[in-house]
Amino acid sequence: MSFRVLSIIFIGLLFGGIFFLNCIKVNKINTKQQSPFTSFYDLSAISIDGVKIKMSNFKNKNILIVNVASECGYTNQYESLQKLYEEYQNEVYILAFPSNDFLNQEPGNNKEIKNFCKTNFGVKFDLFEKIKVKGNDIHPIYRWLSDEKSNGWNNRKPVWNFSKYLINKDGILVGYWGPSINPLSDHITSLIKK
């Protein structure tokens, strides 16, 4: 290969890497407190045990929604999510949605995922069945989270595993963070404490 071709490949990889790093550091806040156009509480999802759960069951507390995966570099955030749950369980529900959408990093079935989370991280917060968080078959919850015509302001889908969305006690989507933002960071806990 010529030096010119190698230079172009290097520059492409460099800018691609910078773009990816910026994506995983996403930190978007609903500073105007824009209200949703449709209610999150009208939605439902199937738990990891196969039970249909209405999101209206989670009213009156903050709700942190995270797309999770067992074979990701961010999988250790299960530990942080569990600590967040233990410390703030009177203020926040944590809803974890396994997804295989990013480099097939969640290959397990629901039973395997539940066992992995319990055995390795002692997870006690709410786990749901494996879903799609992007693409044509996106789950209605993630469609709501990433459609400003529904949630009022945000149009960003998860950029990778362990992207986080926070809905406040009034059902307003107040924040969206990329996977590099730890669940225990002040970015998130400061909004939970409000």
Query: Distance (Å, rounded) from C-alpha 70 to C-alpha 48?
Result: 14
The end-to-end CA distance of the chain, in Å, is: 57
Q: Is there a domain that residue 98 lies in?
A: yes
Q: pLDDT tens-digit profile of 105-144?
A: 999 999 999 999 999 999 999 999 999 999 999 999 999 9
Planar angle of CA 160, 80, 57, nearest 5 degrees: 80
Q: Left if phi > 0, otherwise alpha if psi is -120 to 50, otherwise beta: which for 172?
A: beta
Domain tally, the chain:
1
Catalytic residue among 72, 131, 173, 188, which? 72
Q: Where would I find the beta strands (DSSP E) of 15-91?
A: 27-29, 44-46, 52-54, 62-68
Q: Is there a domain that residue 92 lies in?
A: yes
Q: pLDDT tens-digit profile of 138-168?
A: 999 999 999 999 999 999 999 999 999 999 9
Q: Is there a domain that residue 5 lies in?
A: no
140: domain CATH number is 3.40.30.10
Is 72 labeled as catalytic in the residue annotation?
yes
Whole-prediction pTM value?
0.89
**Is residue 148 classed as helix, strand or coil in its secondary structure?**
helix
Query: What are φ and ψ of residue 3, in 5° steps?
Result: -60, -40
pLDDT of residue 155: 96
Which of 55, 63, 131, 122 shows the shortest CA–CA distance to 97? 131
Q: pLDDT tens-digit profile of 48-84?
A: 999 999 999 999 999 999 999 999 999 999 999 999 9
Q: Is there a domain that residue 55 lies in?
A: yes
| Helical H segments across the chain, by residue range | 3-24, 77-88, 110-121, 140-145, 148-151, 186-192
Domain that holds residue 114: 28-192
